[in-house]
A and B are shown apart, each in its own frame.
Chain A
Amino acid sequence: MTLSPDDVALFALGPWTVTATLAYSWVVMALLVVASALVTRSLTTAGGDLGRGQNVLEALVAFLLDQIREITNQDPEPYLPFVGTLFLFIVTSNVLSVVPGFEPPTGSLATAAALALCVFVAVPAFGIRKLGLRAYLGNYLRPTPFLLPFTIIGELSRTLALAVRLFGNIMSGSVIAVILLSVAPLLFPVVMQAFGLLIGVIQAYIFAVLAIVYIASGTEAQERTARARKEEAGS
C-alpha cells in the first residue's frame, strides 16, 4: 500500500524521476487548459443558444464572483484569477480520483503545501497592492507591537493547517478506499467513493473560501486603519 502518490515513480525523464504527483498534476493542468481553450474559442453573446461549455464556464465564473463579493464586500475581479485557479485545480484533481489508476495530486503533502504557500504569499501581495507597503506592515503592529510574534505564528500555523487539512482529507479518502477493498470488496467501496467525491468538492470549496477569507482579512483591516489615519489627519 502506498501512502502518497509521491512514492509512485511513473517514468524517468533524463536524470529526474517523474512521480505520480507530478504527472497527474500535469494531466489536470492540461485538462483544464485544453477544455477552457476549446470552450473560449467559440464564445458567443447571441441570446438563446450559448452551447454547453459556455454555459458551464459562465455559471462557474458567476458562482465564484458571487462568493468572493459576498465574503470580501469588495470588487471581486482582482481576486478571481487566483482563487478561481485554486478552486478549479483542486476540484478537478479531487473529482478525477474516481477514475481508476488516477492518484489525486492533492493527496500528496507536497502539492497541498505548495498550494498553501501560494495563499501565504498572496495575502501580503494583495494587501500591499491594495494599500501600499507601509500600511500593510503597520498592520502587524496593531493593536500593540507585543502581539507581533503571535500574529506571525498565527500566519504560519494557518498556512500549515490549510495544507494539512487538504492533504489529510484527500489522502484519508484514498487510504480508506484501499482498506475497504481488502475488507469488503463488493459494492461498499463504491459508496465510500461517492462519499469521497462529496468530500473532495467540499474541501476544494473550503480551501478557496479560506483563501478569500485570509486575503479579505488582510485588505479590510488595512482599509480601516488607512481610513482612520486619513480622518485623523483631516480633523
Chain B
Amino acid sequence: MSDFGLIGMASIIVAGLTIGIGSIGPALGQGRALAQALQAIAQQPDEANTITRTLFVGLAMVESTAIYCFVVTLILIFANPFWAAVQS
C-alpha cells in the first residue's frame, strides 16, 4: 500500500479511537457531577443559583479533556501534517 493510503487509513482509525475512548471519561465524570448537582438542588433549592454556576464552571473544566481529544481528531482528519508532507 502506498504511503498516502497508509497515512489516510491510520489517521481515520486513530481519529475514531481518539474521540471514542477520549469521550468515555469526561462523559462519566459529567454525568456524576450533574447527578450530584441535581441532588444538591433538590436538597437546597435556595442555593440553586450558586450550585448551577459552580456546576457550569466545573462541567467546562471536565469537558476540556474531551475537547482536547476532539481537536486532535480534527487535526488528524483535516490538518494532518504527515499527509501534507506526502502530498507535496
Contacts and interface: CB of A to CB of B under 8 A. Distances in A.
B56 A209 contact: yes
A210 B74 contact: no
Interface string A159-173: 001001101110010
Nearest to A206: B60
A126 interface: no
A172 B71 CA distance: 10
Nearest to A168: B67
Interface residues of B, number: 14
A104 B63 CA distance: 21
Interface of A is mostly: helix
A213 interface: yes
Interface residues of A, number: 17
A210 B67 contact: no
B4 interface: no
B79 to A, nearest CB: 8
A3 interface: yes
B60 A210 contact: yes
Contacts of B74: 3
Contacts of B67: 164-165, 168-169
B70 interface: yes
Contact of B64 (A67, A165, A172, A205): A165
Interface of B: 50, 53, 56-57, 60, 63-64, 67-68, 70-71, 74, 78-79
